[in-house]
Amino acid sequence: MTTLITLPDTGDVVSTVPKRLFIAGAWVDALAGDTLPVEDPATGEVLCHVADGRAEDGQRAVAAAVAAQAEWARTAPRARSEILRRAYEIVLSRTDELARLMTLEMGKPLAEARGEVAYAAEFLRWFSEEAVRVEGGFATLPDGRNRMLLMRQPVGPCLLITPWNFPLAMGARKIGPAVAAGCTMVLKPAPQTPLSSLALAEILAEAGLPAGVLNVVPTSRAGEVVEPLLRGGQIRKLSFTGSTQVGRILLAQCAEKVVRPSMELGGNAPFIVFDDADLDTAVAGAMVAKMRNMGEACTAANRFFVHRSVADEFAARLAERMGALVVGPGTQPGVDVGPLIDRTGRGKVEELVADAVAHGARVLVGGVVPDGPGYFYPPTVLAGVADDSQLLRTEIFGPVAAILTFDDEDDIVSVANDTEWGLVGYVFTRDLDRALRVSERLEVGMVGLNTGLVSNPAAPFGGVKQSGLGREGGRVGIDEFLEYKYVAVPV
Ligand code: NAP
């Protein structure tokens, strides 16, 4: 594999990361010899090429995972725990290089990439701790004549599919619990960002993960590779993070062999600011909930509902903060906002803003695509967004805050819930009764109460409605990778 361009102080990071498939503990080329290009979204230039798996490579990876499963399930939990703990330490010790790699392939500013390295590492540490806390049960049943022995066992070989927006953390959030539970796995990263996953696989191997437990197959032919694996009968679990649209397709494919699914899908988060909110806190929360990852987050605030009495002030203050952000290549010091992932992603944001403006929205700041290379879009605030604007029913996935006003609590909770998604909602108020009442009524899996950040490895992450099935992280994260077995024992 060749590195096509060498950036002054970053070419080393790209050139040293493995660029082949990782199967049965070995770095191998795709059988057909294909490669796929990895682009730097800040320049549109090709950074390097990585091996591009086809269906037969997916089958090889599953065969390796299946072959390793029985022995891996017998490994002592402490041994699995210590592999994850070593991986946690190696990831942290390589923070700078992993952050730079992620910034190059995905675009986020270095400071955010460093934050993601810490976040990803924390999943490895959390699940190293959970690996030794898996408990079954024993009980005398109510009839007094029978006993119940309850065992926890790994679900079996898993398929993990990750998106491009958090390339390291989404992999770690799945690999951590799968390793802890004693499952083997095949990881298919997003084709835009395979390098972070390949680097993570190398680290896990260095930490002592046995051959075949983790296999990685980047591919530009996701459907062609994944469908036969889900229909093949050997994969016992799918853990998917990505769009609701693709999640639906994969759920249908899981149905044939009754593959157990976990789905972390899209969102359409409401961000509700009541008239009694502390506006400093609300604006600070909005900056995080909107601008983390340039707005390319499933948790991104998509619809801002602000009480009419504070809407103008909130909008003005948010526009001032958004307008002061520095847009540029994420590798450069002082940059707050990197490029969007690709031309398609940016084009979608442009269309959504144009549609909102056509329906009467006022652009308070931003809204104009800068000249030059890369897929940059400026931080944008839209006020007076009309109810029938498309961006209220679509994940914007960009740095655009769409503000609407409201008068009544009951009405706004109904409007906030009027969406097929239910991942997260944000509520800003100083009234404790209202805070709890609205948190209970929002149809979401997570609520940020006077905060714009909910993600934490120790908390169960996930959504309701069409935002997903199951939870990642927290005490329950490992359950997704474990089965119960009940043994009946007469007294
Ligand atoms: P996506 O288009 O759904 O892709 C996600 C992954 O699925 C990629 O690896 C993709 O590979 C793969 N894929 C696509 N079609 C497939 C198919 N037919 N069979 C098998 N795999 C397939 O989503 P994305 O654009 O990468 O990511 C953004 C989405 O992820 C947003 O909706 C966001 O909300 C969601 N997300 C959710 C969470 C969460 O925890 N809830 C976290 C992060 C992101 P290809 O690109 O090659 O198609």
Interval 423-465: pLDDT, tens: 999 999 999 999 999 999 999 999 999 999 999 999 999 999 9
Interval 83-116: pLDDT, tens: 999 999 999 999 999 999 999 999 999 999 999 9
- pLDDT in the model for residue 295: 98
Ligand 1 within 6 A of CB of 395: yes
Q: Which residue has the higher pLDDT, 127 or 372?
A: 127
How far is Cα 116 from Cα 120, in angstroms, rounded to an integer? Answer: 6
Instruction: For residue 469, report the distance from its CA to the centre of ligand 1, in Å.
Output: 15
What average pLDDT does the chain have?
Answer: 97
Interval 149-168: pLDDT, tens: 999 999 999 999 999 999 99
Ligand 1 within 6 A of CB of 53: no
Do the beta carbons of residue 452 and residue 293 sit within 8 Å?
no
Ligand 1 within 6 A of CB of 423: yes
Return the H-helix or E-strand segment holding 36: strand 35-40
Reported as a pLDDT band with limits 50, 70 and 90, residue 4 is very low
Instruction: For residue 59, report the distance from its CA to the centre of ligand 1, in Å.
Output: 21
Least confident of 5-9, 35-39, 244-248, 402-406: 5-9
How far is Cα 439 from Cα 442, in angstroms, rounded to an integer? Answer: 6
Q: Which of 105, 122, 264, 472 is catalytic?
A: 264
- pLDDT in the model for residue 111: 97
Do the beta carbons of residue 205 and residue 44 sit within 8 Å?
no
How far is Cα 18 from Cα 28, in angstroms, rounded to an integer? Answer: 10
Residue 325 gets which letter from DSSP?
Answer: P
Give the side-chain half-sphere CA count within 13 A for 149. 7
Token look-up 């899209």 returns 266
Interval 260-271: pLDDT, tens: 999 999 999 999
- pLDDT in the model for residue 11: 53
Q: What is the CATH number of domain 269-456?
A: 3.40.309.10
Q: How far is CA 330 from each of CA 14, 42, 45, 296, 453, rounded to the nearest angstrom?
A: 15, 8, 15, 14, 21
What's the pTM? 0.97
202 catalytic residue (yes or no): no
- pLDDT in the model for residue 36: 98
Ligand 1 within 6 A of CB of 265: yes
2 has pLDDT over 50: no
CA dihedral 214, 220, 221, 223 (to 10 degrees): 70
Interval 461-477: pLDDT, tens: 999 999 999 999 999 99
Residue spans in the chain of domains classed CATH 3.40.605.10: 13-265+467-490
Strand pairing category for 400-406 and 380-383:
parallel
147 has pLDDT over 90: yes
Residue spans in the chain of domains classed CATH 3.40.309.10: 269-456
Among candidate residues 325, 296, 268, the one with its CA nearest the CA of residue 463: 268
254 catalytic residue (yes or no): no
Q: Which of 48, 298, 472, 480 is catalytic?
A: 298
Angle at 312 between CA 306 and CA 316, to 5 degrees: 110
Select from 39, 161, 375, 396 the residue to mutate for testing ligand 1; criterion: most ligand atoms less than 8 Å from CB: 161
| Portion of the chain with pLDDT greater than 70, in percent | 98
Instruction: For residue 164, report the distance from its CA to the centre of ligand 1, in Å.
Output: 8
How far is Cα 56 from Cα 204, in angstroms, rounded to an integer? Answer: 24
The class level of CATH for 13-265+467-490 reads: alpha beta
Angle at 298 between CA 250 and CA 414, to 5 degrees: 100
Q: Mapping DSSP to helix (H, G, I), strand (E, B) and coil, where does residue 455 land?
A: coil
- pLDDT in the model for residue 3: 36
Reported as a pLDDT band with limits 50, 70 and 90, residue 12 is confident
Amino acid, single-letter form, for residue 365? V
Ligand 1 within 6 A of CB of 470: no
Q: What is the largest CA-CA distance in the chain?
A: 78
Mean pLDDT of 15-40: 98
Interval 272-329: pLDDT, tens: 999 999 999 999 999 999 999 999 999 999 999 999 999 999 999 999 999 999 999 9
10 has pLDDT over 60: no
185-188: strand order across its sheet: 26-28, 21-23, 214-216, 185-188, 158-161, 237-241, 260-264, 468-469
Ligand 1 within 6 A of CB of 101: no
Among candidate residues 443, 469, 470, 472, the one with its CA nearest the CA of residue 455: 472
Do the beta carbons of residue 179 and residue 477 sit within 8 Å?
no
- pLDDT in the model for residue 422: 98
